[in-house]
Structures are given as C-alpha cells and as structure tokens.
Amino acid sequence: MASKKYVYFFGEGSKEMKKLLGGKGANLSEMTNIGLPVPPGFTITTEVCNLFYELGEKYPEGLNEQIDENLKKLEVEMGMTFGDKENPLLVSVRSGAAISMPGMMDTVLNLGLNDTTIDSLIKKTGNKRFSWDSYRRFIQMFGDVVMEVERDKFEEALQAIKSKNKVKLDTELSADNLKELVSEYKKIIKKEKGISFPQDPKEQLKMSIDAVFGSWNNKRAITYRNLHDIPHNIGTAVNVQVMVFGNMGNNSGTGVAFTRDPATGENVEYGEYLINAQGEDVVAGIRTPKPISNLKKEMPGIFNQLIDIFKKLEQHYTDTQDLEFTIQEGKLYMLQTRTGKRTAGAALKIAVDMVNEGLIDKKTAVLRVEPEQLDQLLHKQLDEKSKANAELVAKGLPASPGAALGRVVFDADDAVKESKNREVILVRTETSPEDIEGMAVAQGILTARGGMTSHAAVVARGMGKCCVAGCEDIKVFEEEQYFTASGKKVKKGDWVTLDGSTGEVFLGRIPVVDPEVTGDFEIFMDWVNEFKTIGVRANADTPKDSEIALKFRAEGIGLCRTEHMFFESDRIKAVRKMIVASNEKERRKALMALLPIQKNDFIEIFKVMKGLPVTIRLLDPPLHEFLPTEDEDIKEIAKELGLEFRELKATIVSLHEMNPMLGHRGCRLSVTYPEILEMQTKAIFEAAIELTKQGYEVKPEVMIPLVGSVKEMRILKKQIIKIADELIKKSNVRFDYKVGTMIEIPRACITADEIATEAEFFSFGTNDLTQLTFGFSRDDSGKFLPDYIEKGILDKDPFATLDEKGVGQFVKIGVEKGRKARKDIKIGICGEHGGDPDSIKFCHKIGMDYVSCSPFRVPIARLAAAQAALEEI
Ligand code: PEP
Ligand code: MG
C-alpha cells in the first residue's frame, strides 16, 4: 500500500493548506504558483511532527522514501547534487507552524557544506572568504541547534580569532582566519559531544530535520504557545529549500519588508535590509539595517521589482504581507510571505484604506481587526506637557506604541521576580526568544540594538506592549546591571519612562493620559455598528466614567454600582453613621444626610447619558466593607463619629461574617433595612423628576442585586414602585422606568420564569454566578487558578472568559425561562465577561439584548458583537 503523502514539493500545495504545510510552506507553494522567484524546495507536513511525537520520536513509514524522492527532484531541477564535488546542492532547513511563532524554533542554513564541497563552492563563486564564512556559519548553527553545543563556546572562539588578528568586526576576518575558525569549531564539537561534525550531507539533513521537529517542544516554544493561546497539538512543518546567499558580496543582500507600514498602516513600502549579509543577521538585530527606501538608490532595479511583487502579493492575498527576500548577485528571491502583524492603529487604517481601494468589502474589514487589539489604541499616552519638561536621555526606534513607566531590570528572570511587586521596564542590549517570559510581565521593553523587525520589536508588537528598540544612544552593561545614556548612569531599580510611539526614553516618571481616538477609528466603528445586532452598554459609576462610555458610543449604562459612590471622602462618614446606628430612627437620620449627595450623583449621570437607559443597582456589598479593621483606624473613626472605641469595635465585630460573599449583602440588605432601599429609590426618582422638569430625557432602571427567589423580587419591587409612583404623581411629570434584577445566583437561573413575572429586565452578574457555580471564591481564586490552568483542568480563567459548559448553561437556562415568562424582557450581562470577545459571542448566540462592560472596553465589545453577527451569516 502506498504510504500517505507526507512531503509536498513547492507548487504542489497552496495558501489554503496552512494547517498541513504550516504558514511558511503553504505560502512558498502559493508564491511558486503565482510565478514569483522562489528558490525551489519541499515541505514535510505538520502531520509528520504530530506522528513523530505520537510514535515516541519516530517517523511514520514511507517518510524517508518521500524525502529522498523530493531531494532527487530538487537535484534534477537545480542540476546540482548533494555532496557533489563539482556542483554541490546546499539547502536551508526551517520550521514553519500554521500559526507564526517568530524565532521560537530552529533553523539551519548552508546545509550540504563539508570539507569536500567547500572547495567546489570556492571554485564556483571564486570567493574564498564568502565560502569559508558560509561553512563556519553552518557549523556554528548546526553545532548550536542540532548538536546542542553551548552557543557561547563558538562565540568565544570567534572573539579569540578576532583578538588574535586585532580586528573588531566579523567582516574584517580574512578567508584564512575563517578557515582556521572552521577547524576550531570542529574541535569544539568533538570536545563537547565526543563525536565529529558529520560530513555526509544526508546525515546532516536527517539530523537537522530531527532537530526542527524536536524544537516544537522546546521550553521557549511551549512558553510562546501558552502566552499566545496556540494549541500544542498543531505541530510544525519542516521546509527544505535551496540556499540563496545574501552574503556573496556587495551585489548581494537580504531583507524583510512589509507591503504597508505595520506601525501606522500607511500605504508605503516599509522594511529594512543589509548588504552582504544572511537573513538571520537582520532578524537577530546584530547589525542595524538600512531602511528599504534606501534600496531605491542602491539597487534601483531590485527595488522596482520588489514594489511590483508587493502589489502582486497584496492583490493576491488582499491583505498586507510581511515578507523576506534575498538578493544573490543581483538577482531577487522571495523566501517568505505571511499576513503582516500590525499595531491596532495600522490595522484600522489598513482596513479602512483597503475598503476605499476596493480590495476588500466592509464585512471583511470588520472581521479582520482583532477586538482585543483595539486595547492598544485605547492605551494611555504620555502627558505632552509633562513630557516637554522631562529629561530625555535617548532616542531609539518607535517599535511598538503606547507609554510605559517602571523600574529598570536587566534580565528576564529579574523582570519576572520584580514584577510581582512593582512595574518594571526590561532593558537589554538585544532580546532573544529566551527573554519571552520577562517581556510578557514587563510594562515596556528597551533594547540598544536591532531594527523594527528585530525580535524585541516583533514580539512586543504582538503583545501590544510598548517597546523602544535599536536605541543606540544607550550602552547596556547587563552583568553590572546599569546602562548609560547622555552621560547618566541608570541603575537597576531606577525609574524610566518610554514612549513607544516616538522611541523616546526619559529618566523618572512622566504622567500618562487617556488616548484620543478619531479618524479611521470613527469610520471603522461606524461599520461595526452597521453589523452588530446586540447592544453595548458600559459599567460606570461616576459622571466621568459615563462620559468616557458615551465617547466610545455606549448605548446606556448597564451597571452603576452605587456603593462605589459611598466610598468618596465627602460621604463615607454619613455611610458609617448609617451602619453603626443602633436603631431605625438613627439610621434614617444618617440616610437623610446621604440622600442629597446620592441624588446629585444621579442627576449628573442622567445628564451625561442624555436619555439613554441607566441601570442603577441598589446597595450590594456587606456593610462591614465600609468600616475599618485595624484598631488604630477604629479609634480615629470612633472619634470622628463621636463614639467610644469599644462601642464601635463591638459593632464591627457583630458585623463580622464567616463568608461575607454569601452573607448579609445584595437584596438581603434591603430586606433587613428597607430604609436603605427607600433612600436610594428616592434619590433616583427625585433626580429623574428634577431633570424631567428641566426638559431632560431620563430612563432609570432600578436593579435589585443577588435575587434568588421571586418573593424577594416581589417584596422589594413593591416598595420601589410605591415610592417612585408617589413621587412621580406628586410632581406631575411623566417618564418610563423599569424595575429588574441581577441574575447571579444559580437558583435565580433555574427559577428565572418565576422571577420574570416580577422583573422587567435581567442583567446577568456573571462574576458572582461564576463564583457560585464553581464554588470558587472570587477573591481567593488567584491562589489556585494558575495551577488549574497549568494542569489543564481549565483552559482559561473562568472569571475572565465565560465558562460556556457550566456557567454558560445556567445563563442559557435563565434567558430561555425569562423570555418564556415575559416576552419583552430585556436581558443583558454586566459581569466582567461583558467585555471579553469570546464571552460576547456567546451572549450574542443565546439571544441577549446587550452586554455591558467597563468604558474602555466598549469599542472592543462593539467589534466582538459585530463579528459575532457576521460569523453567523
Ligand atoms: C457580578 O456579580 O457579575 C456583578 C456585576 O456584580 P459585582 O461584581 O459587583 O458583584
Ligand atoms: Mg455581583
């Protein structure tokens, strides 16, 4: 029986086959098919990688034969042979998963060189120096990634030869120096591993393929996948491709480019290149490359050909591409193309521009921007005024936008440690994939070397994290833990501020301000609104929050937590008086003092919201939360309230609860102390009446928290309506209002049909509902949830993304039962999940009317809602 097809020659696959061929392999096939100059090669599928692990690091039957067949085909096509004395075939071996994982897995270049083929390479190229340099690079890479010899050993040997010959740069080494280095490298391998560097190219190839498949499960690749939510079972493909050399002299070079600017989205060529260099030199950030626009002067023919290819690729893929190319002795070759990663600002601009250019439709544009990515756009920026007076000490490349401030650390482990207690900025000469965990926890990243496409820049942009790269104004002393800039010494623990949008580095702390969003953002968000069917409201407790919510076009307030107003300094005293009151009369007196303050809060919020619905929740937390716990504070407050210390302490002790989250809170407070509900209802309706009289439109929705029984709802609703209707009648005005409830107790979901006979709206409080469904304390889950995720018991934090299987089923039942009992019931969600794209998609699917989230997440929620609607079509 013929074995399954495990190997595809370039051209046999297509861009649709990413899952099987990996992104790189699929696109190399596609570029070959559309006639672009791609050096030939073949791809070993991701399926082989998965089988390799399933079979205990063994390959499936028939694979070796297929590799041999394709190698033969390559040899015939090139007229070259592996290990041939006259015309040796040289190849690269690279990884390539379906989802790009830059720099995380292994690569081997110049494979096929050995002590014999080196002579033919010299003869063929007439370039001794180039040939020996290629050989020593190959041994170095092979030694490092395939044979796992410590990288530093090769670096030391290179430094030693440079010192011996009194040169500074690698490029100053002569052919003989490099030849000597080759023999040093071979000795290192023999010494470290006890075996010789393999001379047989087939053996080299086999070992390299093993290493690339093996690198799928190296530590940094696993960390990267965990950080980016990439499944561990998709595997990588391996691409074997004929080598082209960018280091054959000054008519050769290598570069990376984007078809549009990935930072701003502008439709201009963008990228960088190095003359006389190999691909890895650009990405590794070892030499600082030149901007691609410079190529126009240096190699006009190649530049024009590249621009044509940009256009062709964009038309073909209808998206911005990120590509790698090599120029070998004046001839251009394409080595990779993939969808270009971009900042949120660029993503919006590109989406809007491409619709205007007729390349894509609005629907595609809306589906193309990641909702979470918008967060970057809404990131804080440095306050311009303070920035003008701040101490600017260096300027690098604006690699990833936003502002970041923190204390300086110089290695990734330190960043992980220190970030537990403080904000840190990771400063490195250059970053490497091993730094990934440190980068993830840092506020921002600063590197002295590397370009816009260096590791630091690419990874930071992917993380939406502020990054200044290639900042050659600073000198980093990693061992000694300090850097110098403008004659200043900045030590570990000192504060610095970065502006990732300009590349500026400041000493000290600069205040940050909220971002302004205009232009493309508005156009794009208009399209979003055309498609979304579910409403988006905001959780806002103050007029300021409400203003932000409205600016982001929230369609109302879905949750105003009135207790947040109680904590402000001008009212906490009255709140405490109310709590410590020993009888109803005293409590009412204290509440009377709170009434005008609370009324004023509602007046301001109603005014801002201009007639949009405002859902106001009655007091929810247990009362002891408003009282101090430390004796020192109790003494102070007792004095303030005119009480004895012992008296106040006794009250506090009496309010203590074993499980406050399950205790005297939510609607239970109103059941015990109806006067609290009375005061809050009065404040809401007096405010609404006053504004209505002044000509404002108001839509109050009074929400009762933590209901578990229809009877709670019935009793409390009756009290609210009585007060509200009396006030409205007396003042002779008209406006509609609603009384509804939060659904945040499992019993409320199960009896939602009963509750809906009283409630005019439901708002799912999925924070409490998650807590009560799992039995996980909201406040303590941080202690064990990370272990649950690491051990695979849970995929995600259920307090961040709604657990569809469990909590989601309660929500679904609640929605269905609620609607059955009251057809026009309004249903929304106001737990944290209301701002999470996946959870929003679920809410859309089960037919909610709206989601409500924090003001800054409103645009994210709107986009997720639109995508949910579009994905259904
Ligand atoms: C909830 O429980 O989901 C909710 C929104 O209320 P809180 O977080 O205030 O308990
Ligand atoms: Mg709650």
The pLDDT score that the predictor gives to residue 427 is: 97
Q: Which of 704, 742, 848 to mutate to test the pocket of ligand 1 (most atoms within 8 A of CB)?
A: 742
Which tens digit of pLDDT belongs to each residue from 50-102? 999 999 999 999 999 999 999 999 999 999 999 998 899 999 999 999 988 87
3-state helix, strand, coil in the chain (%, to 5): 50, 15, 35
The torsion angles phi and psi of 303, rounded to 5 degrees, stand at: -60, -50
- Give the list of residues 6+ apart from residue 742 with CB closer than 8 angstroms, or none: 617, 703, 704, 705, 706, 707, 762, 763, 764, 765, 768, 830
Cα-based torsion angle of the residue sequence 625, 627, 629, 634 in order, rounded to the nearest 10 degrees: 180
Question: Are 726 and 797 contacting, i.e. CB atoms less than 8 angstroms apart?
Answer: no
Q: Which atom of ligand 1 is nearest to the CA of 831?
A: 3
Question: Are 408 and 469 contacting, i.e. CB atoms less than 8 angstroms apart?
Answer: no
If pLDDT is split at 50, 70 and 90, which confidence band does 2 have?
low
Q: Which atom of ligand 1 is nearest to the CA of 744?
A: 2
Residue whose CA is closest, atom 4 of ligand 1?
765
Instruction: Tell me how far apart the alpha carbons of residues 472 and 283 are, in angstroms, rounded to a whole number.
Output: 17
The pLDDT score that the predictor gives to residue 610 is: 96
Residue 228 Cα to ligand 1 middle (Å) = 28
Residue 41 Cα to ligand 1 middle (Å) = 57
Q: Which residues fall inside 5 Å of ion ligand 2, going by CB?
A: 744, 765, 768
The pLDDT score that the predictor gives to residue 462 is: 61
Ligand nearest to the CA of 541: 1
Residue 618 Cα to ligand 2 middle (Å) = 11
The pLDDT score that the predictor gives to residue 627 is: 86
The torsion angles phi and psi of 257, rounded to 5 degrees, stand at: -145, 155
Instruction: Tell me how far apart the alpha carbons of residues 191 and 316 are, in angstroms, rounded to a whole number.
Output: 51
The pLDDT score that the predictor gives to residue 115 is: 96
Residue whose CA is closest, atom 1 of ligand 1?
765
The DSSP secondary-structure symbol of 827 reads E
If pLDDT is split at 50, 70 and 90, which confidence band does 43 have?
very high
Q: Which atom of ligand 1 is nearest to the CA of 763?
A: 5
Ligand nearest to the CA of 771: 1
Chain centroid, CA 412 distance in Å = 19
Higher pLDDT: 511 or 28? It is 28
Relative to beta strand 107-111, strand 7-9 is: unpaired
The pLDDT score that the predictor gives to residue 581 is: 87
Question: Are 93 and 209 contacting, i.e. CB atoms less than 8 angstroms apart?
Answer: yes
Q: Which of 563, 762, 767, 799 to mutate to test the pocket of ligand 1 (most atoms within 8 A of CB)?
A: 767
Q: Which of 669, 707, 744, 779 to mutate to test the pocket of ligand 1 (most atoms within 8 A of CB)?
A: 744
Residue 768 Cα to ligand 2 middle (Å) = 5
For residue 325, what are the β-bridge partners? 255, 334
Which tens digit of pLDDT belongs to each residue from 625-647? 888 888 888 898 889 888 899 98
If pLDDT is split at 50, 70 and 90, which confidence band does 563 have?
confident
Residue 829 Cα to ligand 1 middle (Å) = 10
Q: Which two tokens stand for residue 468?
A: 């200044």
Catalytic residue among 467, 830, 843, 853: 830
Strand-by-strand arrangement of the 504-507 sheet: 391-395, 504-507, 495-499, 403-409, 424-428, 444-447, 466-469, 397-400
Catalytic residue among 379, 455, 833, 844: 455
Residue 560 Cα to ligand 2 middle (Å) = 12
Residue whose CA is closest, atom 9 of ligand 1?
561
Question: Are 43 and 29 contacting, i.e. CB atoms less than 8 angstroms apart?
Answer: yes
- When pLDDT is averaged across residues 166-187 and rounded to a whole number, the result is 92
Q: Which of the residue ranges 169-173, 216-220, 660-664, 842-846 has the most confident prediction, judged by mean pLDDT?
A: 842-846
Residue 475 Cα to ligand 2 middle (Å) = 51
If pLDDT is split at 50, 70 and 90, which confidence band does 516 have?
low
Q: Which two tokens stand for residue 380?
A: 């804080």
- When pLDDT is averaged across residues 187-211 and rounded to a whole number, the result is 96
Q: Which atom of ligand 1 is nearest to the CA of 833?
A: 3
At residue 712, what is the residue type?
A: E
Question: Is pLDDT above 70 for 235?
Answer: yes
Which tens digit of pLDDT belongs to each residue from 431-483? 877 788 899 899 999 999 877 667 788 778 667 688 998 898 899 999 999 99
Burial class (CB in 10 A: 0-12, 13-18, 19+), 705: buried
Q: Which atom of ligand 1 is nearest to the CA of 766?
A: 3
Query: How much of the chain exceeds pLDDT 90, in percent?
Result: 73
Cα torsion 380, 383, 388, 393: sign: negative
Grouping H, G, I as helix, E, B as strand and the rest as coil, residue 488 is strand
Ligand nearest to the CA of 767: 1
The pLDDT score that the predictor gives to residue 102 is: 75
Higher pLDDT: 820 or 151? It is 820
The torsion angles phi and psi of 737, rounded to 5 degrees, stand at: -140, 165
- When pLDDT is averaged across residues 705-734 and rounded to a whole number, the result is 97
455 is catalytic: yes
Q: Which atom of ligand 1 is nearest to the CA of 764?
A: 3
Which tens digit of pLDDT belongs to each residue from 136-162? 999 999 999 999 999 899 999 999 999
844 is catalytic: no
Higher pLDDT: 729 or 782? It is 729
Give counts: helices (H), strands (E), the chain.
36, 31
Q: What element of type H or E holds 92?
A: strand 91-97
Q: Which of 830, 832, 843 to mutate to test the pocket of ligand 1 (most atoms within 8 A of CB)?
A: 830
Q: Who lines ligand 1 at CB under 6 A?
A: 559, 561, 620, 744, 765-768, 830-831
Residue 771 Cα to ligand 2 middle (Å) = 9
Question: Is pLDDT above 80 for 104?
Answer: no
Residue at token pair 């037919």? 847
Question: Are 157 and 149 contacting, i.e. CB atoms less than 8 angstroms apart?
Answer: no
Question: Are 113 and 106 contacting, i.e. CB atoms less than 8 angstroms apart?
Answer: no
The pLDDT score that the predictor gives to residue 452 is: 66
Question: Are 477 and 489 contacting, i.e. CB atoms less than 8 angstroms apart?
Answer: no
Query: What is the b/e burial string over 465-490, where b = at least 16 CB atoms within 10 angstroms of the residue's CB?
Result: bbbbbbbebbebeeeebbbebeeeeb
Question: Is pLDDT above 60 for 1?
Answer: no
Which tens digit of pLDDT belongs to each residue from 248-285? 889 999 999 999 999 889 999 899 999 988 876 766 65
Residue at token pair 């600069």? 510
For residue 851, what are the β-bridge partners? 536, 829
Q: Which two tokens stand for residue 522?
A: 């508005």
Which tens digit of pLDDT belongs to each residue from 737-759? 999 999 999 999 999 999 999 99
Question: Are 473 and 486 contacting, i.e. CB atoms less than 8 angstroms apart?
Answer: yes
Terminal-residue alpha carbon distance, the chain: 43
Which tens digit of pLDDT belongs to each residue from 361-396? 999 999 999 998 887 787 778 887 888 889 999 998
- Give the list of residues 6+ apart from residue 226 with CB closer than 8 angstroms, or none: none
Residue-averaged pLDDT of the chain: 92
Question: Are 51 and 60 contacting, i.e. CB atoms less than 8 angstroms apart?
Answer: yes
Query: How much of the chain exceeds pLDDT 70, in percent?
Result: 98
